[in-house]
Every structure is written in structure tokens, then in C-alpha cells.
Amino acid sequence: MAGTNNLILRTATSLISFLLLGFGVYAFFAGHNSPGGGFIGGLMTSGAILLLYMSYGMKTVNQMLPINFKTMIPVGLLTAVLTSAGSFLFDVPFLSHTFGYFYLPIFGEVELATAMLFDLGVYLTVVGVVMTIILTITDDQ
Amino acid sequence: MNNMIVLPMAIPVLAGILFIFFRNNIYLQRWISLFVMVANIGIVAYLLNRVQTEGVLRLDFGGWEPPFGILFVADSFSLILVMTTSIVAAICLLYSFSSIGKARENMFFYSFVNFLVAGVNGSFLTGDLFNLYVCFEIMLLASYVLIALGGKKAQLRESIKYVIINVLSSWFFLVAIAFLYGSVGTLNMAHISERISESGQTPLLTVISIVFLTVFALKAGLLLYFWLPGSYSVAPTAVAALFGGLLTKVGIYAMFRVFTLFFYHEPSITHTFIGVLAALTLIGGSIGAVAYKDIRLIVTYNVVIAVGFILVGLAVATPEAMEGSIYYLIHDMIVKSLLFLLAGTMITVTGTTKIDEMSGLIRNYPLMGWMFFIVMLSLAGIPPLSGFIGKVLVGEGAVNAGSYILLALAFLSSIFVLYSLLRVFLQCFWGETIISTEDEVPVKKGWMIPCAILTIATIGIGLGAESLYLYVSDAANTLLNPQIYIDAVLYE
């Protein structure tokens, strides 16, 4: 986009993409009790990153976010598989999940479930897959 | 706790994921994937023996009781198939070590083989209809990649056909599941079976069963095999052997499950339909096998014939025929991969796929020639080898049920198999030697050892049919008495 002045796009992006990122993370955490979850949270997060790529270009964003999205896929898958395989350690059926109530400083009493770790795997995989697909197509001359 | 049942699917998945991290460490990938398959053989052997003493095993994921949660069910039929899958996959991996090439190995080849095996094992083990769909998709997605990996022109053309046909059939599968869920209100296989037997198989359910038949016929290549010869002949040898050994067999397995567990109340409609399709498949496959001079096409049409033959056993549905089909299924998985490996090796050493351009290979490659001879006899069903017992039992079942047309077609197709392969043998191995000693492409040990192991396996299955009988008869018994399966899943 050399030569074009897209000040409005860039200024709006820096605001909107942070809103989007925040909403993606919110949707991810809200998944247990209201609509949301790993898949939609991951999609919204990749939407936010994609918006950054569109307005700032590949080079800038690659410096800003030095993340290899390709390794994010196996990391996410591994998280999901290992949370389910943890059942082997505790001698319960495969894919069993558990939860507990914890007292955290600011939030007060919260319910933490291992299902969220599985969801984290989904989240990472979705972000990794979406970004890999889009960046691979963009790279292709 | 039966957590072990999930391992044949979980270990390959885990290995496939880990390989992405060790992308450049090919040696590690090779030996770990081989180790995974061998470990699976051990696990399944243990489970198979447990099933004989304790009956059908199940694993409720997350501890949710059967009609509500998803589960894996291990009965003799599925475990036998998982075992054969692991053996075939191990051998194909061994072959691919020295044939697949560095470019493919660096592009996650071993990951996708592991995912493919995970999908196949999951399809065999699952006890939930939608889960079956998901495992089918895991297998198919991995197979899409394996068919296209390498990016040659022919591969791209055939993979587009393959993907389109499979996307379409997966959509039909989903629709069929939706219809069935709308009618019986459950997705658990045992529960579906119970609901159907309670309400009786209404005409609507019979229609749904035909939709399922269409889906699995597309996957297995039962009459709807038009996509099969093209797709299976473009993949590299080791991949083609995996496909020929495993993929259509998953469709066959699903058909056996669905038509022995759910829709067994109206055999005069559904099983007659399967019988007609099997007969047409046998005819079409036989014509294809003798019509071509391209060795890859001859081999793929032999896959089609075997699909027809195995489903004759399902159409007839007597105990002997079921046992025969299971024997033949084991035999066919092993021998078809061997056939694909040998055909691929022949193409590699001669550099041509046309059988009339090859001649006198027996002088250059005697071991390969005699192994091809054994495969040919085994596929035709000559007594000491593995194809014999399955053919005899299916034939016996067909006689007992009075299906003489199917009987005649099944045995005539054996003659066509024998003729098509004998033609290859005579044309390629006998005659004037065209490759001089200097121009010989050296056969690597890594090509011949896997073939030799499979040849020994086909002889072993033929001679040791008696010791397998315990497992096969238990598998057939569970298939013919759905109540055993239902009791194990819902009432234990």
C-alpha cells in the first residue's frame, strides 16, 4: 500500500482491533455459561489480527506479532489431547473433566474447569489454522 | 477402566501432532510412527483376548452413561479390523521409508499417515453414529492430503475428483444421520438399534437405510466406484497400498455395522438391494480388471471385485457367510496392500505402467516374481493361502441361503481375478528379458522386506485359519445377534 494515505483506516484499526481482541477473549471465557467458546473466540481473535495485517501490511505486523501461527496449530492440538489424556493419570474415563471453586484476588470466588483447557486448545488451533490459511494464500504470488 | 480402548486412536493422533514439532527430524518420525503401529498391534491383541473372556468392552468418554455420552465399543469384529489396519499401516510405513522421497517426508507425510490410521481406527471402534461421521472425516481429510501431496498434474486432477465425490457423500451421510436422528431421537448405535426394533422398521426407516447404503456404497466403491480407479492409481505406491488396504474397508465395515445392527428387520428389501449392488459390482469389477493394460488400473479393479465379494456375505447374512466375509476382509486388507506394493515396485523398476511394455522380469527380480505369483493364487482363493477359507465360507453361506446367482457371480469373479493377474504375471514376468543386467534398477531391501512380510502373512493366515476361527466366529456371532452388542452397551 505504498503511497496511499490510509490514516483513517489505520487509526480506526488500532482501536477496533483491540476491541475485537478483547471481545474474542471475552467470548472464549464466556463459553461455559453463555454463547461463545473456543471456536468463536478463536475466529474473532483471528479477525482482529487479520484487520491489523490488512491495514498495516505483512512486514509491520510480522515485527509487531512475532508469532509463528503454524506452530500454534500443533500446540493447540497438543493442549486438547493432553487435557483429555490426563484422565490416564487419575484413572478416570478418557476425556473426563473436572472443576473446582477457587478464590481469586479481584474476581472473588470463581469456578475453574479443566474443560476450559480443552477449549484453549480449540482456541489456539482455530487461530493457528485461520491465520495459516490466510497468510499462505497471501504469500502465494 | 477400559481407557485402553481409546489408545489405537489416541496414540497415532498424539504422534501425528508431535511430528509437526520435529518436522526436520525424519529418522525420529519414521521410527516413532513404526513404533506406534507396532504398539497398537500389541494393545489390540490384548483387548481382543479380553473380549473373548469378558464379552464386548466399552469406554464411556468422560464417564457419561451410554445413551447420553459418546463411547468406544470394542467387539471382536472391530478389534480384528483395527489389528489388521495396524499391521498394514506398519508395513506400508516400512515400504515408504525407502520409496516416498525426502520432499514428501518433509511435508508432514508421517503426520498424515498417522492421522489417517487414527481416523480408520476411530471409525472401527466408535459406538456413536455421529462420531463415526467425524472419524470418517478425519480419515478422509488425511487421505485428501496424501493423495495430493507431491503436486503432480495427474494427482491434482484426480484429487479434485476424489475430494468432490467424498464431500458429496459426506453430505449424504450427514443428511442420513439427520433423518435417522429425527426418526428415532438418538445417535448411540445400540440405542438406535433398540429404538428401531421397538417401533419396527417402518417404510421411512427403510428409506433412510437406503440413504445410508448409498453413502457407504460411495465410500466403499460398491457399484458407485467410478471415482476409485483414477484416485487410487495416481498416489505414490506406499500411499496407494494404504488406500487399497484400508479406505474402502471402512465403508464396508460401516455397511456391516449399519445393516446388522440397525436395519436387519426388512432383509427382503435392504439385503436384496445389497445383493443386487454386490452382483453388479462383481460384474463391473471383473470387466474392468480384464479390460485394461495399465497395471495400476488392473489392481484397482481388483479392489472393486473384492468389495463386491465381501458384500455378498452381508447380502446373504447366514452365520457361515458372515464368517467368510470377515475372513475375506482380513485377507483382502493384507493381500491388496501387498498387490499394490508389488505393482508399484514393478512400475518403479520398469518405468512404465503398461503391461505389454514389460517382459521377462522374473530373470531380473525372481523374488518379486514369485511373490506376485503367491498373491495371485491367494487372491484367486487357492487352498493353502488366505483367500481360500473366506471364499469357501461365503460360498457355503450362499448355498445355504439359496442365492445361486450371487454364488455363481462370486466364484466367476475369482476366475476373472485369476485371469487378470495371470495376464500380468505372464506378460511381465515371463517372456524375453528386456532389461539387461547393466540397466537393472537395483531393488532396495526396504521394498522387498515389507512385501515378504505380507507374503508370509497371507500364507500364515491361510495355514492358521483355525486359530483365527475363535475370534472370527465371535465377531460373526456378535454381528448376527445385535442383542449382545446392545446389552453390552446399554445394560452393563
In angstroms, rounded to a whole number, what is the distance separating the alpha carbons of residues B148 and B258? 31
- Is residue A103 within a helix (H) or strand (E), and if so which, with residue range? strand A99-104
Q: Which residue of A has its CA nearest to B17?
A: A74
B21 touches chain A (CB under 8 A): yes
pLDDT-based confidence at residue B452 (cuts at 50, 70, 90):
very high
pLDDT-based confidence at residue B317 (cuts at 50, 70, 90):
confident
In angstroms, rounded to a whole number, what is the distance separating the alpha carbons of residues A121 and A79? 5
Q: Which residue of A has its CA nearest to B12?
A: A81
With 0-12 / 13-18 / 19 or more C-beta atoms within 10 angstroms meaning exposed / middle / buried, residue A39 is: middle
Beta bridge partners, A99, equal: A113
B141 touches chain A (CB under 8 A): no
Flag if A95 and B61 touch (Cβ within 8 Å). Answer: yes
**CA–CA min distance B139, chain A (Å):** 17
Residues of B in contact with A88 (CB under 8 A): 3
- Please name the amino acid found at residue B276: V
Residue given cell 474447569 in the structure block: A113
What pLDDT is stored for residue A90 in this prediction?
84
B13 touches chain A (CB under 8 A): yes
- First and final CA of chain A: distance in angstroms? 16
Considering only residues 75 to 134 of chain A, which have any Cβ-Cβ distance to chain B shorter than 8 Å?
77-78, 81, 84-85, 87-88, 91-97
Residues of B in contact with A86 (CB under 8 A): none
Neighbours of B468 (CB within 10 A): 17
Q: Which residue of B has its CA nearest to A81?
A: B14
What's the number of CA atoms in the CB half-sphere (13 Å) around residue B314? 33
Q: Which residue of B has its CA nearest to A115?
A: B62
What pLDDT is stored for residue B272 in this prediction?
92
**CA–CA min distance B1, chain A (Å):** 7
What pLDDT is stored for residue A141 in this prediction?
59
Distances (CA, A) of B340 to B117, B239, B466: 18, 9, 27
Q: Are B454 and B238 in contact (CB under 8 A)?
A: no
DSSP A97: -
What pLDDT is stored for residue B435 in this prediction?
73
What pLDDT is stored for residue A59 in this prediction?
86
Q: Please write the tens of the pLDDT for every residue from B219-272.
A: 998 888 888 988 888 889 999 999 998 999 999 999 999 999 999 998 889 999
Q: Where is average pLDDT lowest: A115-124, B275-284, B353-362?
A: B353-362
Q: Are A31 and A38 in contact (CB under 8 A)?
A: yes
Residues of B in contact with A96 (CB under 8 A): 61-63
Instruction: Give the whole-number percent of chain B exceeding pLDDT 70.
Output: 99
Flag if A93 and B20 touch (Cβ within 8 Å). Answer: no
**CA–CA min distance B155, chain A (Å):** 20
What pLDDT is stored for residue A31 in this prediction?
86
Residue given cell 469456578 in the structure block: A111
What pLDDT is stored for residue A140 in this prediction?
67
Considering only residues 23 to 82 of chain B, which have any Cβ-Cβ distance to chain A shorter than 8 Å?
59-63
pLDDT-based confidence at residue A3 (cuts at 50, 70, 90):
low
Closest CA to B491 of B10, B193, B66, B198: B66
Over chain A, what is the mean pLDDT? Answer: 87
Closest CA to B423 of B333, B297, B304, B338: B297
Q: Please write the tens of the pLDDT for every residue from A10-53.
A: 899 989 999 999 999 999 998 888 898 889 999 999 999 999 99
Neighbours of A101 (CB within 10 A): 8
Q: Which residue of A has its CA nearest to B15?
A: A78
In angstroms, rounded to a whole number, what is the distance separating the alpha carbons of residues B57 and B113? 27
Q: Please write the tens of the pLDDT for every residue from B81-105.
A: 999 999 999 999 999 998 888 888 8
Question: In angstroms, how far is CA B80 from the centroid of its own chain?
Answer: 12
Flag if A92 and B1 touch (Cβ within 8 Å). Answer: yes
What pLDDT is stored for residue B67 in this prediction?
86
Q: Please write the tens of the pLDDT for every residue from B117-171.
A: 999 999 999 999 999 999 999 999 999 999 998 888 989 999 999 999 999 999 9
